[in-house]
Structure formats: structure tokens, C-alpha cells
Homo-oligomer: A and B are copies of this chain.
């Protein structure tokens, strides 16, 4: 298998998702393996944004809040994301950034478990999730050094989380984890960890930023309490796209969240001086969202919703399997160390390696049109988004990687003369 470029082309011809690549505007000569960081531009998004700008904003002006139904965008976009993650339509809303949304949900989770003082997470969780946790705890701990919330770190696997829950579970308010580790690409067993947390009386917040749009996710079947996620990675919503949050129906009206801006009010246009939280998921809105950014995200979701998620996951596993197999065969003894689990049940849609010259290697790859990225200190990441990445892209990426690592393109000194990449 994976014996030749022609063999890869044959796989592309047989790919049930092959028609989707043409839905994206991908630059010529580029193999794009960074859709886990920023998804590419869907063709219809370009057209949609031109209409939103010229017609809805330019011609419609303020009237478009009603006439173009701008006011429903957070709910409508949320409802489309719900279909990707196994949630009910009214359980997801698009709003703010992932970080801001995490702040809302962590705050609510701590309200829900007021006698418990620990947030269980892992030290290698996505950094912004740790930073937001830190910020909320600083805020809550400031006035009262007696009570005090704290973070409890477990190693990043199911056994370690269960062990931590066994030891400290009675004091754990919430378990906060990212479903696929941004660095290693390791996938959690969401059902097992959620069940373990709930047995201990804790709530769960899952960060879906590195999974939604590339993996089958069933929040309902896993009985997840809360989730957050990013719109600009696999969801292709554009740079800095609005994020989203999920609140299980059973929790929605039990609490209010602290970022209680006017869009989350029961009667936003009554301009009342007192706050009354909107019913349902709308209370998780805060200020006015960017209509243009929301429209871009909705447009890309419309493309994704045409594809069966099972087919996306199946191709994702096939692409990552092919990449790992080809790297193992072609780049043996060239300094790469695979840090992504090989087992399909343990990996997301990216493959990561460490390499002592990760930054210059990636710089050389990008110069050749093969775009992945680096993460500190020495990780090379390659993301495989099944709607537009082909099997031949896998072949070409490995060929380029081999050339570079074998010193056929540049020597080490030339690598190091190049700048950093983001």
C-alpha cells in the first residue's frame, strides 16, 4: 500500500469526498496541512461575504438586523455546529472567542458545584484554556484568601484522570480537557472520562477546538455537560472566526454566566436597566458579534454539513495512517520521533513528530509549498482535513520532508538563517 504516487492518485479517485476539494480556494502549488490551525477559504464564503458587505451592510444598513436576519446568526450558526458534534439545535451557540466562552462555562461549572474547589485539567492542555482558568481563579480568589479555588493537574491520559478523580474527586468541581491534544494529537476517550467525572460528582467541559469538523463527536451519547470550540480550525470559518459553546439542555437555565451583556438579555430591545437572562442557550451571548465573521462561519459550515461526518473521520484516519506509514518508510533515521499515537482510537486528525531542527525544517517545507506548523519546543505538526487534503498531498509532503531532512534542499546552517514561522 502507498507504493507510488500513482497508487495515491488511485485512492483519490476512489475517495467519496473527492468532490469537496473544489469547494475550497487553495493556492496552486501548495500542500496545505495546517487546517488544524487555520482552515482555507471556501469558494462560497468569498461570494457570501461580498454579498453581506455590499448588499446587507452597504444597501440594507441597520435594516439588515431584521431583513437579513443578522439577529439570529448566533443561534443559526450554533444550530449548524450542533449537527457536527451530536448536540441538539438549542444546545450550541456561536459567540465571542473560545477563551471568552471558556470563562463563561468555567464560571457556571463552579457555581454548579459550590462546595468543590478544584478544576482538574492537564498541564499540556491547550495553553489558552489554562490561562483562562488561571484568570478566573485569580478573580475568584482575590477577595477571599480563605476559600480558594485551585487547579489540579493530571497527566494527559484516561488512567491518570481517573486516578486523580479517585484521590481527590470529592473536591473536583469540573474536569476541563481538550479532546485532542493540540501538540501530540492524542485523542481522549470522551465517554469514559465524562462518566468517571460524573461518578465523582464533577462536571465536564470539553474543548472541541482540535476535533470538531474532523472527527465524529457525540456529545449527547457521552452525556457531556459543557463544551467549547473554535471556528477557524477544521470548521474553516476564517481567521479569528467566532467560537461556540455547548451547554446541555439540563443545565441551561440553572445558572447565569458572568459576561451578561445585552445580547444575552431576555429582552435585548426593551433596553431595561435590570438584567434578566434570556431563556435557553441565548443567555450565553454577551455583546454584539461580528456579522461578517458570523456569516463566513455559517457559509463554511454549510459546505461541511454536505459531507457525512463518518466519511470525514474515515478519510482522516486513512490520510494520517498513510502519512505515518510513508514517513516511517521514507524518513527512517532522519531524526523524526513520532509523538502521535498510532491506534485510531487514540488519534485525531493530525500527526506530530519531534525533531531537533523543527523550526528550520518547517521553514524549508513551507518554502517548498508544504504548509504545516511548529509548536514549542521541537514539534512538527501536520493536520489532515479530509474535505480538501488528498492522498497525493500525503505523498508529496513526505517526499518533501525526506528531501529536506536528508539535506538535499538546504543544510542546517541555511535552515538556521531563516526566521521563525508561526
Contact = CB atoms under 8 A, between A and B. Distances in A.
Nearest to A232: B288
Interface residues of A, number: 97
Interface in A367-402: 371, 373, 375-376
Given A62-B34, A99-B262, A147-B144, A271 B127 contact: yes
A100 to B, nearest CB: 6
Contacts of A142: 111
A191 interface: no
A127 B273 contact: yes
8 contacts: A32-B61, A34-B62, A98-B288, A100-B287, A138-B256, A143-B144, A238-B290, A238-B291
A63 B369 CA distance: 11
A2 B124 CA distance: 69
Contact of A287 (B114, B128, B134, B289): B128
A294 B293 CA distance: 10
A271 B375 contact: yes
A269 B37 CA distance: 13
Contacts of A98: 287-288
Contact of A292 (B130, B143, B293, B420): B293
Nearest to A45: B53
Interface of A: 25, 27, 30, 32, 34, 37-38, 40-41, 45-46, 49-50, 53-54, 56-59, 61-66, 70-71, 96-100, 103, 107, 111, 114, 123-125, 127-128, 130-132, 134-136, 138-140, 142-144, 147, 183, 232, 238-243, 256-265, 269-275, 286-294, 296, 366, 371, 373, 375-376, 420-422
A293 B269 CA distance: 24
A130 B268 CA distance: 13
A34 to B, nearest CB: 5
